[in-house]
Amino acid sequence: MSASTLSFRASPEFAAQTKSLASLFNMPSSEYLREAVREKNERVLKDRMTYLSKQLSGKHLLENEAMDATTGDGLD
């Protein structure tokens, strides 16, 4: 696996805070940022999957309720 480089602008306060926290955890700042972004990506994907699952569940519920009205024995 080859590595790619990402670059972004950050305020001096953000950079200082990131370096400080990375140091607190005995990590290089690049590894600290990689881990933070990985965790954020996982959270976003989980939230998206949850949202889509709820949408699909709601759609299926509506379809099931619509079909329930048609499951009589026809002897009315």
Give first-to-last CA distance, the chain, whole Å.
Answer: 68
The b-or-e profile of 22-36 (16+ CB within 10 A means b, else e) is: beeeeeeeeebbeee
Does the predicted model carry a pTM greater than 0.85? Answer: no
Q: Specify the number of domains making up the chain.
A: 1
Answer whether residue 75 is part of any domain. Answer: no
Least-confidence region, from 5-14, 48-57, 60-69 = 60-69
The Cα–Cα gap between 19 and 65 comes to: 55
Which positions ≥6 away from 35 have C-beta within 8 Å? 27
Q: Is residue 62 part of a domain?
A: yes
Q: Is 7 part of a structural domain of the chain?
A: no
Q: Is 1 a member of any domain?
A: no
Structural domain span for residue 57: 27-67
6-52, pLDDT tens digit by residue?
899 999 999 999 999 999 999 999 999 999 999 999 999 999 999 98
- E strand intervals along 1-76: none
Q: Tell me whether residue 49 is in a domain.
A: yes
